[in-house]
Amino acid sequence: MATHGSEGASQTHGDEIPGELDATGRIFPDLVVPSLDDGPRTSTVIAMCNQKGGVGKTTTTINLGAALAELGRSVLLVDFDPQGSASLGLGVHPHTIEHSVYDLLMGSELSFDDVVISNRIPGLDLLPANIDLSAAEVQLVSEVAREQSLRRVIAPVRDRYDFVLIDCAPSLGLLTINALTAADRVIIPMEAEYFALRGVALLTDTINKVTERLNSDLGMLGVLVTMFDARTLHSQQVLARLLEVFGDEVFHTVIRRTIRFPETTVAGEPITSYASSSRGAASYRSLAKEVLVRCARQ
Ligand SMILES: Nc1ncnc2c1ncn2[C@@H]1O[C@H](COP(=O)(O)OP(=O)(O)OP(=O)(O)O)[C@@H](O)[C@H]1O
Ligand SMILES: [Mg+2]
Protein backbone atom coordinates (compact mmCIF):
# COMPACT_ATOMS: atom_id res chain seq x y z
CA MET A 1 0.00 0.00 0.00
CA ALA A 2 1.43 3.32 -1.02
CA THR A 3 2.00 5.99 1.58
CA HIS A 4 1.57 9.39 0.07
CA GLY A 5 3.59 11.67 2.25
CA SER A 6 3.19 12.31 5.92
CA GLU A 7 1.65 15.71 6.35
CA GLY A 8 1.45 16.62 9.96
CA ALA A 9 3.74 13.80 11.05
CA SER A 10 6.31 16.21 12.40
CA GLN A 11 3.75 18.12 14.48
CA THR A 12 3.21 16.90 17.96
CA HIS A 13 -0.17 15.28 18.49
CA GLY A 14 -0.48 17.25 21.69
CA ASP A 15 -4.19 16.74 21.98
CA GLU A 16 -3.95 12.96 22.07
CA ILE A 17 -1.27 12.44 24.72
CA PRO A 18 -2.46 10.70 27.91
CA GLY A 19 -2.30 12.97 30.92
CA GLU A 20 -2.07 16.17 28.86
CA LEU A 21 -4.73 18.69 27.93
CA ASP A 22 -6.53 17.79 24.71
CA ALA A 23 -8.31 19.99 22.16
CA THR A 24 -11.47 19.82 24.26
CA GLY A 25 -9.65 21.30 27.26
CA ARG A 26 -9.89 18.08 29.26
CA ILE A 27 -7.10 15.71 30.33
CA PHE A 28 -6.66 13.08 27.63
CA PRO A 29 -7.24 9.71 29.33
CA ASP A 30 -4.88 6.78 29.41
CA LEU A 31 -6.67 4.49 26.99
CA VAL A 32 -6.06 0.87 27.90
CA VAL A 33 -7.37 -1.02 24.90
CA PRO A 34 -8.94 -4.34 25.87
CA SER A 35 -6.78 -7.18 24.60
CA LEU A 36 -8.28 -9.50 22.00
CA ASP A 37 -8.05 -12.33 24.54
CA ASP A 38 -10.07 -10.49 27.21
CA GLY A 39 -13.17 -12.63 27.64
CA PRO A 40 -15.70 -13.63 24.99
CA ARG A 41 -15.81 -11.45 21.87
CA THR A 42 -18.97 -9.46 21.50
CA SER A 43 -20.29 -7.75 18.46
CA THR A 44 -21.22 -4.07 18.54
CA VAL A 45 -23.30 -2.38 15.85
CA ILE A 46 -22.67 1.38 15.61
CA ALA A 47 -24.70 3.81 13.48
CA MET A 48 -23.00 7.00 12.27
CA CYS A 49 -25.92 9.38 12.33
CA ASN A 50 -26.64 13.05 11.69
CA GLN A 51 -29.27 14.30 9.26
CA LYS A 52 -27.09 17.29 8.56
CA GLY A 53 -25.13 16.74 5.36
CA GLY A 54 -21.37 16.78 5.01
CA VAL A 55 -20.44 16.51 8.69
CA GLY A 56 -18.07 13.55 8.36
CA LYS A 57 -20.32 10.49 8.74
CA THR A 58 -18.82 8.64 5.79
CA THR A 59 -15.25 9.73 6.52
CA THR A 60 -15.68 8.50 10.09
CA THR A 61 -17.25 5.19 9.08
CA ILE A 62 -14.39 4.38 6.71
CA ASN A 63 -11.50 5.57 8.85
CA LEU A 64 -12.77 4.37 12.20
CA GLY A 65 -13.44 1.01 10.53
CA ALA A 66 -9.92 0.86 9.10
CA ALA A 67 -8.37 1.90 12.43
CA LEU A 68 -10.35 -0.77 14.31
CA ALA A 69 -9.21 -3.33 11.72
CA GLU A 70 -5.58 -2.27 12.36
CA LEU A 71 -6.19 -3.07 16.02
CA GLY A 72 -7.10 -6.61 15.02
CA ARG A 73 -10.88 -6.24 15.08
CA SER A 74 -13.03 -7.67 12.30
CA VAL A 75 -15.22 -4.94 10.90
CA LEU A 76 -18.18 -4.77 8.54
CA LEU A 77 -18.99 -1.39 7.01
CA VAL A 78 -22.57 -1.03 5.85
CA ASP A 79 -23.06 1.65 3.23
CA PHE A 80 -26.61 2.75 3.98
CA ASP A 81 -26.73 5.86 1.84
CA PRO A 82 -28.02 5.78 -1.75
CA GLN A 83 -25.17 8.19 -2.61
CA GLY A 84 -22.84 5.19 -2.16
CA SER A 85 -20.10 7.39 -0.67
CA ALA A 86 -18.70 4.77 1.71
CA SER A 87 -18.42 2.33 -1.19
CA LEU A 88 -16.70 4.96 -3.32
CA GLY A 89 -14.38 5.91 -0.48
CA LEU A 90 -13.19 2.31 -0.39
CA GLY A 91 -12.61 2.21 -4.14
CA VAL A 92 -15.89 0.47 -5.03
CA HIS A 93 -17.73 2.42 -7.71
CA PRO A 94 -21.44 2.37 -6.92
CA HIS A 95 -22.53 2.07 -10.56
CA THR A 96 -20.32 -0.98 -11.15
CA ILE A 97 -21.61 -3.13 -8.30
CA GLU A 98 -23.88 -5.98 -9.25
CA HIS A 99 -25.50 -6.58 -5.89
CA SER A 100 -25.95 -4.24 -2.96
CA VAL A 101 -27.40 -3.95 0.53
CA TYR A 102 -30.68 -3.08 -1.22
CA ASP A 103 -31.06 -6.69 -2.47
CA LEU A 104 -30.62 -8.07 1.06
CA LEU A 105 -33.00 -5.49 2.48
CA MET A 106 -35.73 -6.39 0.03
CA GLY A 107 -35.36 -10.10 0.78
CA SER A 108 -34.01 -11.28 -2.57
CA GLU A 109 -32.65 -14.81 -3.03
CA LEU A 110 -29.10 -13.53 -2.61
CA SER A 111 -27.15 -14.40 0.50
CA PHE A 112 -24.99 -12.00 2.53
CA ASP A 113 -21.89 -13.64 1.04
CA ASP A 114 -23.10 -12.89 -2.48
CA VAL A 115 -23.12 -9.19 -1.67
CA VAL A 116 -20.31 -8.55 0.82
CA ILE A 117 -17.02 -7.29 -0.62
CA SER A 118 -13.75 -7.83 1.23
CA ASN A 119 -11.26 -5.00 1.18
CA ARG A 120 -7.52 -5.16 0.67
CA ILE A 121 -7.29 -4.02 4.27
CA PRO A 122 -7.44 -7.28 6.21
CA GLY A 123 -10.44 -7.52 8.52
CA LEU A 124 -12.49 -4.87 6.72
CA ASP A 125 -15.59 -5.93 4.76
CA LEU A 126 -18.14 -3.76 2.95
CA LEU A 127 -21.82 -4.12 2.19
CA PRO A 128 -21.99 -1.71 -0.73
CA ALA A 129 -24.86 0.55 -1.76
CA ASN A 130 -25.88 2.54 -4.76
CA ILE A 131 -28.84 4.59 -5.96
CA ASP A 132 -31.09 1.46 -5.86
CA LEU A 133 -31.27 2.01 -2.11
CA SER A 134 -33.33 5.16 -2.59
CA ALA A 135 -36.19 2.93 -3.82
CA ALA A 136 -36.11 1.01 -0.53
CA GLU A 137 -37.24 4.09 1.36
CA VAL A 138 -40.52 3.92 -0.59
CA GLN A 139 -40.82 0.15 -1.01
CA LEU A 140 -40.29 -0.64 2.66
CA VAL A 141 -43.22 1.53 3.70
CA SER A 142 -45.71 -1.23 2.91
CA GLU A 143 -43.62 -4.02 4.54
CA VAL A 144 -44.47 -5.64 7.85
CA ALA A 145 -41.95 -4.57 10.52
CA ARG A 146 -40.45 -2.18 8.00
CA GLU A 147 -38.15 -0.59 10.59
CA GLN A 148 -36.48 -3.93 11.31
CA SER A 149 -35.36 -4.78 7.79
CA LEU A 150 -31.67 -3.94 8.25
CA ARG A 151 -31.63 -5.61 11.64
CA ARG A 152 -32.80 -8.83 9.94
CA VAL A 153 -30.00 -8.53 7.38
CA ILE A 154 -27.29 -8.06 10.01
CA ALA A 155 -28.55 -10.49 12.70
CA PRO A 156 -27.33 -13.75 11.08
CA VAL A 157 -23.80 -12.42 10.42
CA ARG A 158 -23.07 -10.14 13.33
CA ASP A 159 -21.21 -12.90 15.19
CA ARG A 160 -18.61 -12.84 12.43
CA TYR A 161 -17.67 -9.25 13.25
CA ASP A 162 -16.44 -7.38 16.31
CA PHE A 163 -17.92 -4.17 14.87
CA VAL A 164 -20.58 -3.36 12.32
CA LEU A 165 -20.45 0.34 11.34
CA ILE A 166 -23.46 1.77 9.49
CA ASP A 167 -22.97 4.89 7.38
CA CYS A 168 -26.33 6.69 7.41
CA ALA A 169 -27.68 9.06 4.77
CA PRO A 170 -28.24 12.72 5.69
CA SER A 171 -31.93 12.29 6.54
CA LEU A 172 -34.10 10.98 9.35
CA GLY A 173 -36.23 8.88 7.01
CA LEU A 174 -37.00 5.18 7.09
CA LEU A 175 -33.45 4.13 6.13
CA THR A 176 -31.98 5.95 9.11
CA ILE A 177 -34.70 4.56 11.40
CA ASN A 178 -33.67 1.11 10.14
CA ALA A 179 -30.03 1.86 10.96
CA LEU A 180 -30.93 3.02 14.49
CA THR A 181 -33.14 -0.03 15.01
CA ALA A 182 -30.26 -2.30 13.98
CA ALA A 183 -27.68 -0.49 16.14
CA ASP A 184 -26.49 -0.88 19.72
CA ARG A 185 -24.79 2.50 19.78
CA VAL A 186 -24.86 5.81 17.90
CA ILE A 187 -21.97 8.11 17.07
CA ILE A 188 -23.01 11.64 16.10
CA PRO A 189 -20.32 13.35 14.01
CA MET A 190 -20.59 17.15 14.20
CA GLU A 191 -18.72 19.69 12.17
CA ALA A 192 -17.09 22.43 14.25
CA GLU A 193 -19.04 25.24 12.59
CA TYR A 194 -21.72 27.69 13.54
CA PHE A 195 -24.79 25.67 12.52
CA ALA A 196 -23.56 22.42 14.09
CA LEU A 197 -26.35 22.35 16.65
CA ARG A 198 -29.12 23.11 14.22
CA GLY A 199 -31.47 20.14 14.02
CA VAL A 200 -29.83 18.37 16.95
CA ALA A 201 -33.07 18.42 18.98
CA LEU A 202 -34.84 16.57 16.18
CA LEU A 203 -31.98 14.08 15.97
CA THR A 204 -31.94 13.31 19.69
CA ASP A 205 -35.73 13.14 19.69
CA THR A 206 -35.60 10.56 16.88
CA ILE A 207 -32.96 8.52 18.74
CA ASN A 208 -35.09 8.63 21.90
CA LYS A 209 -38.21 7.52 20.04
CA VAL A 210 -36.39 4.59 18.43
CA THR A 211 -35.05 3.62 21.87
CA GLU A 212 -38.56 3.76 23.40
CA ARG A 213 -40.47 2.06 20.63
CA LEU A 214 -38.19 -0.11 18.53
CA ASN A 215 -34.81 -0.83 20.11
CA SER A 216 -34.40 -0.53 23.85
CA ASP A 217 -30.73 -1.60 23.52
CA LEU A 218 -29.82 1.59 21.68
CA GLY A 219 -27.50 4.01 23.45
CA MET A 220 -25.25 6.95 22.67
CA LEU A 221 -21.58 6.09 22.18
CA GLY A 222 -20.42 9.65 21.66
CA VAL A 223 -20.36 12.94 19.81
CA LEU A 224 -17.38 13.33 17.48
CA VAL A 225 -16.19 16.82 16.60
CA THR A 226 -14.94 16.90 13.01
CA MET A 227 -13.32 19.46 10.71
CA PHE A 228 -11.94 21.32 13.70
CA ASP A 229 -9.56 24.17 12.99
CA ALA A 230 -7.59 25.02 16.13
CA ARG A 231 -6.41 28.30 14.60
CA THR A 232 -9.86 29.84 14.50
CA LEU A 233 -11.65 31.24 17.49
CA HIS A 234 -14.86 30.22 15.77
CA SER A 235 -13.98 26.51 15.80
CA GLN A 236 -13.00 26.75 19.46
CA GLN A 237 -16.27 28.50 20.37
CA VAL A 238 -18.31 25.81 18.64
CA LEU A 239 -16.32 23.08 20.41
CA ALA A 240 -16.92 24.81 23.75
CA ARG A 241 -20.67 24.93 23.02
CA LEU A 242 -20.77 21.25 22.06
CA LEU A 243 -19.06 20.43 25.36
CA GLU A 244 -21.67 22.49 27.21
CA VAL A 245 -24.50 20.61 25.53
CA PHE A 246 -23.09 17.07 25.43
CA GLY A 247 -20.53 17.06 28.28
CA ASP A 248 -18.55 13.84 28.50
CA GLU A 249 -20.39 12.36 25.56
CA VAL A 250 -17.98 14.38 23.40
CA PHE A 251 -15.02 12.17 22.46
CA HIS A 252 -11.63 13.41 23.62
CA THR A 253 -10.36 12.81 20.10
CA VAL A 254 -11.16 15.71 17.79
CA ILE A 255 -10.75 15.38 14.01
CA ARG A 256 -8.94 18.37 12.48
CA ARG A 257 -9.77 19.86 9.13
CA THR A 258 -7.28 18.70 6.51
CA ILE A 259 -7.29 18.34 2.74
CA ARG A 260 -6.03 14.80 3.29
CA PHE A 261 -9.59 13.53 3.78
CA PRO A 262 -11.02 14.65 0.42
CA GLU A 263 -7.85 13.20 -1.13
CA THR A 264 -8.55 9.80 0.37
CA THR A 265 -11.96 9.69 -1.32
CA VAL A 266 -10.30 10.18 -4.69
CA ALA A 267 -7.71 7.53 -3.82
CA GLY A 268 -10.46 5.14 -2.68
CA GLU A 269 -8.76 4.11 0.53
CA PRO A 270 -8.76 5.00 4.24
CA ILE A 271 -6.36 7.64 5.54
CA THR A 272 -4.72 5.00 7.73
CA SER A 273 -3.24 3.45 4.58
CA TYR A 274 -3.22 6.45 2.21
CA ALA A 275 -1.29 8.70 4.58
CA SER A 276 -0.47 6.36 7.41
CA SER A 277 1.70 8.76 9.41
CA SER A 278 -0.52 11.83 8.98
CA ARG A 279 -2.25 13.55 11.81
CA GLY A 280 -5.64 12.54 10.43
CA ALA A 281 -4.65 8.88 10.58
CA ALA A 282 -3.38 9.33 14.14
CA SER A 283 -6.69 10.92 15.14
CA TYR A 284 -8.80 8.08 13.78
CA ARG A 285 -6.49 5.56 15.51
CA SER A 286 -7.05 7.49 18.73
CA LEU A 287 -10.81 7.47 18.15
CA ALA A 288 -10.70 3.69 17.58
CA LYS A 289 -9.09 3.25 21.00
CA GLU A 290 -11.67 5.50 22.63
CA VAL A 291 -14.43 3.50 20.98
CA LEU A 292 -12.95 0.20 22.22
CA VAL A 293 -12.65 1.57 25.76
CA ARG A 294 -16.19 3.03 25.77
CA CYS A 295 -17.68 -0.17 24.36
CA ALA A 296 -15.89 -2.28 26.99
CA ARG A 297 -17.31 -0.02 29.74
CA GLN A 298 -20.90 -0.01 28.60
N1 LIG B 1 -11.64 16.36 8.92
C2 LIG B 1 -11.90 16.75 7.67
N3 LIG B 1 -11.17 17.74 7.10
C4 LIG B 1 -11.43 18.16 5.84
N5 LIG B 1 -12.37 17.63 5.04
C6 LIG B 1 -13.11 16.63 5.55
C7 LIG B 1 -12.94 16.13 6.88
N8 LIG B 1 -13.82 15.14 7.10
C9 LIG B 1 -14.53 15.02 5.97
N10 LIG B 1 -14.12 15.90 5.02
C11 LIG B 1 -14.64 16.11 3.67
O12 LIG B 1 -15.89 16.76 3.79
C13 LIG B 1 -16.81 16.21 2.87
C14 LIG B 1 -18.01 15.63 3.63
O15 LIG B 1 -17.54 14.56 4.44
P16 LIG B 1 -18.36 13.20 4.54
O17 LIG B 1 -18.72 12.72 3.18
O18 LIG B 1 -17.60 12.28 5.43
O19 LIG B 1 -19.65 13.74 5.29
P20 LIG B 1 -21.08 13.03 5.41
O21 LIG B 1 -21.66 13.49 6.71
O22 LIG B 1 -20.95 11.57 5.19
O23 LIG B 1 -21.84 13.70 4.18
P24 LIG B 1 -23.31 13.27 3.65
O25 LIG B 1 -24.25 13.86 4.63
O26 LIG B 1 -23.39 13.87 2.27
O27 LIG B 1 -23.36 11.79 3.63
C28 LIG B 1 -16.05 15.17 2.06
O29 LIG B 1 -15.56 15.77 0.88
C30 LIG B 1 -14.90 14.80 2.97
O31 LIG B 1 -13.76 14.37 2.24
MG1 LIG C 1 -21.98 10.36 3.83
What domains are there in the chain, each with its CATH number?
Answer: 41-297 (3.40.50.300)
**Which residue's CA lies nearest to atom 10 of ligand 1?**
261
How far apart are the CA of 135 and the centre of ligand 2, in A? 18
What's the pTM? 0.94
Model confidence pLDDT, tens digit, residues 265-290: 999 999 999 999 999 999 999 999 99
For residue 13, pLDDT beyond 50 = no
Cβ pair 138, 130 in contact under 8 A: no
Q: What pLDDT, on a 0 to 100 scale, did the predictor assign at position 143? A: 87
How far apart are the CA of 105 and the centre of ligand 1, in A? 26
Task: Using the atom order of ligand 1, give the atom closest to the CA of residue 59.
Answer: 18
Q: Read out DSSP for 16-77?
A: GSTTSB-TTSSBPP---PPPTTSSS---EEEEE--SSTTSSHHHHHHHHHHHHHHTT--EEE
- Residue 47: beta bridge partners? 166, 186
For residue 157, pLDDT beyond 80 = yes
For residue 5, pLDDT beyond 70 = no
How far apart are the CA of 80 and the centre of ligand 2, in A? 9
How far apart are the CA of 147 and the centre of ligand 1, in A? 27
Q: What pLDDT, on a 0 to 100 scale, did the predictor assign at position 4? A: 47
Q: Which helix (H) or strand (E) holds 186?
A: strand 185-191
The number of the ligand nearest the C-alpha atom of 62 reads 1
Indicate whether residue 53 lines ligand 1 (CB < 6 A).
yes
For residue 7, pLDDT beyond 50 = no
- The mean predicted confidence, pLDDT, of the chain is 92
